[in-house]
Structure formats: C-alpha cells, structure tokens
Amino acid sequence: MTALLTVTNLSRRFGGVHALRRVCLDVAPGETHAVIGPNGAGKSTLFRLIGGQLTASAGGIVYDGQRIDRLPPHRRARLGIAIAFQDAPVFRGMTVVENAMVGAHAVTRAGPLSAVLRLPRHRREEKEIRTAAAAALDRAGLAAWADRPAEDLPLGRQRALQMARALCGRPRLLLLDEPASGLRGPERTALAGLIEELRAEGLSILLVEHDVGFVSRLADRVTVLDLGRVLATGPFPEIRTDPVVISAYLGAPA
Ligand SMILES: Nc1ncnc2c1ncn2[C@@H]1O[C@H](COP(=O)(O)OP(=O)(O)OP(=O)(O)O)[C@@H](O)[C@H]1O
C-alpha cells in the first residue's frame, strides 16, 4: 500500500550537532507509527520537520504524493497534517471550545486571527467550526468544559484539549508529541482509548512517546531513534527483542 507520509534521508544540523542523520520512515494509511528513543535522539526535531516548524538540512518529505518539505506549516495543515504538541499554549481569556476552534481556523481561509478577534464576516464558517469543535471536545472527553475558561483546565485536560484542537481540523495525519506525558492512570487510559478509536476510523498517526507500555499497546510499528539515526523499525515485539535496540535503549526484556 502506498504510504501517506514518506520521509527520506532527512537530516538536520544545528551548528555542529547532527540532530537527525539520513532518517527514513513512512506512515501507511490508517497506521499508528510510534517513534521512540532516549533524550536528544532527535524525536522533536523530526516532528518539527514534518510539521514545518523547522526546515531540513537535507532529505525530503512526501505526503499524499506531494513534496511538502518546503511548505510553511499552515499549508501542511491545510493538506491534512495536524500536530498536538505537548507544550502547545492554551489561550487564556478564551473558552475551551474557542481554544479547540483554533485548530479548524488553521485549515480554513478565515485564519486564526478571526478566532481571536471574532470578526462578524466569518459567522457562517464560525458556526460550522464551532460544531466541529464541539464534536472534537466530546471525543476528547471535554464536552462539559466547553464554555469554561481554558485556564481552568487541569494539566491532563489541557492535553486532551491539544488533541481536540488537532482533531477539529479533521486531519488525515495526526502527529502526537508525547501525548501521555504527565497524565495519570484514568486520563492515560482514556487517551489510549481515543487513539485506538481514531486508528479504527482509519486516521494515520505518528506518535512520539517515552512510555513503552503505551507504545506497545497502540503502535502498529515502532521506529527507534538514537543520536539522530534510525536504529530499527518494525512491530513492537520485534523491536523489543532486537539486540541493537536493547543495548542502546530498552534494556533486556523482563
Ligand atoms: N534549536 C536547537 N539548537 C541547537 N541544538 C538543538 C536544537 N534543537 C535540538 N537540538 C539538539 O538536537 C538533538 C536532538 O534534539 P531533540 O529535541 O530533537 O531530541 P528528542 O529526542 O526530542 O529529545 P527529548 O526526548 O529530550 O525531547 C539534541 O542534541 C539537541 O540538543
């Protein structure tokens, strides 16, 4: 099956630091693909290169048959790539539903500014976006919080809001940056359930996550990065027993 996303020989240097070295990776339609690796392995750099927040020193990124590595982030968003960054801001002074709506404004002509300024000329589009945002909040378990100030959300719920914001733009490829980090038991279970649901609906997901238990439950395939290089790619059971991965990252199986 043709991949939805193909990353080929992607490299990025920061001065003398090789953050990524000739990384190759692909995400098939409907696949959940996890990227794991120790601190400094290059996971965030890879995400920012795919999202367009950084440009590559070399290599290419093809999405849905089109080179995207020179496109700005908003053009990639309009093509259906959404990112839920772990540290994305919650906009204070706006309600939870208005925060989620920003995700749809990123992919419409109205633009994020109209969400902030509430310009009247976009009312019809606003109504559709509000409906999409309400649906996304519902999926993320935040329906009861929709009209509350976003700054009232506890940390775990803020993470769910990043997810709702990303879903609000109805993406085809969802990039999740350490979605389980800082979440406690029930929140983590709810998030894993939502990711499983999205996968069952055919959404393609690329996931960076430190929590190996989370990855083993959710990912169809796992790519292991270390010092900017791909150590291995494959289903988790294979990765778990790969001697190279064990010595570099995972430790011996129990
Ligand atoms: N803006 C930057 N300027 C200089 N060096 C950077 C920059 N961003 C990342 N690096 C370096 O690139 C390498 C990869 O960093 P990156 O943040 O991508 O790793 P990571 O796998 O996401 O780590 P973590 O799990 O700690 O988030 C590291 O050596 C880091 O210090």
pLDDT of 222 strictly over 70:
yes
Euclidean distance between CA atoms 78 and 31, whole angstroms: 20
What are the helix and strand counts (H, E) for the chain? 10, 10
Q: Is the CB of 24 under 6 A from ligand 1?
A: no
- Closest residue by Cα to atom 8, ligand 1, is 45
19 pocket-lining for ligand 1 (C-beta < 6 Å): yes
Shortest CA distance to 34 belongs to which of 253, 249, 251?
249
Q: Find out whether the beta carbon of 16 lies less than 6 Å from any atom of ligand 1.
A: no
**CA nearest neighbour of 133 among 159, 82, 168:** 168
User: Would residue 188 be called left, alpha or beta, if left means φ above 0 and alpha means ψ between -120 and 50 degrees?
Assistant: alpha
Q: What is this model's ipTM?
A: 0.96
Ligand 1 touching residue 45 (CB < 6 A): yes
Give pLDDT, residue 116. Answer: 63
Predicted pLDDT at 244: 87
C-alpha to C-alpha distance for 145 and 96, rounded to whole angstroms: 6
The least confident of 17-26, 29-38, 106-115, 204-213 is 106-115
pTM of the predicted structure, to 2 decimals: 0.89
Regarding the beta carbon of 55 and ligand 1, being less than 6 Å apart is answered: no
Q: Please name the residue whose Cα sits nearest to atom 5 of ligand 1.
A: 14
Q: What is the mean pLDDT of residues 18-30?
A: 97
Confidence of residue 250 (pLDDT cuts 50, 70, 90): low
Q: What is the pLDDT of residue 111?
A: 55
Residue 247 Cα to ligand 1 middle (Å): 21
Distance 95 CA to ligand 1 centre (A): 33
Ligand 1: which residue has its CA nearest to atom 30? 40
- Is 17 close to ligand 1, i.e. is its CB under 6 Å away? yes
Cβ atoms within 10 Å, residue 205: 22
At residue 112, the pLDDT reads 58
223 beta partners: 35, 233
Q: What is the pLDDT of residue 85?
A: 84
Reply yes or no on whether the pLDDT at 51 is more than 60: yes
The string of pLDDT tens digits covering residues 59-84 is 999 999 999 999 999 999 999 999 99
Task: Check residue 106 and give its pLDDT.
Answer: 67
**Which of 141, 143, 138, 146 is closest to 97 using CA atoms?**
146
Residues 79-135: tens digit of each pLDDT: 999 999 877 778 888 999 999 998 776 666 555 565 566 666 667 777 888 888 999
What is residue 72's predicted lDDT score, i.e. its pLDDT?
Answer: 95
The pLDDT score that the predictor gives to residue 146 is: 94
Kindly give the number of the ligand 1 atom that is closest to the alpha carbon of 210: 25
Going along the chain from its start, the domains and CATH numbers come out as 5-80+172-250 (3.40.50.300), 90-154 (no CATH)
Q: Measuring from atom 24 of ligand 1, which residue has the nearest CA?
A: 39
Site to substitute for ligand 1 among 14, 206, 230, 231, most atoms within 8 A of C-beta: 14
For 159-216, what is each residue's pLDDT tens digit? 889 999 999 988 999 999 998 888 888 888 988 999 999 999 999 999 998 888 889 9
* 181 CA distance to ligand 1 middle (Å): 17
Q: From the CB of 223, is ligand 1 less than 6 Å away?
A: no
